């Protein structure tokens, strides 16, 4: 989301409180990624079998992580998502930065958009919730600060 759009979405009070805009940006970004990763069993949109797709998520501040055509789960394997790399990119970001979050599993596009299966839309629908998440995070921060 462009810095101008983000600034317009955040209440004017946040501009007057040091660090508030940055905190809202980072907390909202974190929440969008959590929403992308949320399994159907927990109220999300991502079907999880082995966890390979969830574990393939990468973040970057320079370019979209690419799908790897040969990245597939090993038969019988299970995979745990590691939020460390994602969190490092979010923490290191500045307000004007564009952040990219992409799945590298070979079938990521098929699961997002559907191909011989229903589309999950876990990325698109989480991204569509960005304005609501920003508003919620701004309200929460305002309440924590007693404003």
How many other CB atoms sit within 10 Å of the CB of residue 3? 14
Q: How far apart are CA 51 and CA 77, in angstroms?
A: 9
Query: Residue 50 corresponds to which tokens in the numbers above?
Result: 């082995």
- Is pLDDT at 1 greater than 70 in this prediction? no
Q: What is the pLDDT of residue 13?
A: 66
Per-residue pLDDT band at 2 (split at 50, 70, 90): very low
- Is pLDDT at 18 greater than 90 in this prediction? no
H or E element in which residue 60 lies: strand 57-60
Q: What is the pLDDT of residue 11?
A: 64
Mean pLDDT of 108-135: 94
How many other CB atoms sit within 10 Å of the CB of residue 113? 13
Mean pLDDT of 61-84: 95
With 0-12 / 13-18 / 19 or more C-beta atoms within 10 angstroms meaning exposed / middle / buried, residue 56 is buried
Q: Give this prediction's pTM.
A: 0.87
Pinpoint the alpha helices (H) of the chain. 3-9, 12-16, 20-37, 52-55, 84-91, 108-113, 122-128, 130-144
Asked if 90 and 60 touch (Cβ cutoff 8 Å), the reply is: no
Mean pLDDT of 41-62: 96
pLDDT digits (tens, 9 = 90+) for 88-114: 999 999 988 999 999 999 999 999 999
β-bridge partners, 57: 103
């Amino acid at each position: 989301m462009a810095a101008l759009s983000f600034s317009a979405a955040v209440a004017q009070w946040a501009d007057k409180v040091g660090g508030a805009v940055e905190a809202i940006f980072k907390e909202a970004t974190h929440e969008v990624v959590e929403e992308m990763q949320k399994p159907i069993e927990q109220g999300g949109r991502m079907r999880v079998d082995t966890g390979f797709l969830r574990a393939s998520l990468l973040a970057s501040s320079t370019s979209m992580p690419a799908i790897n055509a040969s990245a597939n789960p090993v038969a019988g394997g299970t995979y745990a998502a590691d939020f460390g790399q994602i969190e490092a990119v979010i923490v290191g970001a500045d307000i004007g930065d564009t952040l990219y979050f992409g799945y590298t599993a070979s079938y990521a596009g098929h699961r997002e958009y559907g191909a011989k299966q229903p589309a999950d839309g876990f990325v698109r629908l989480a991204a569509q919730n960005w304005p609501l998440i920003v508003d919620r995070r701004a309200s929460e921060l305002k309440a924590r600060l007693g404003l």
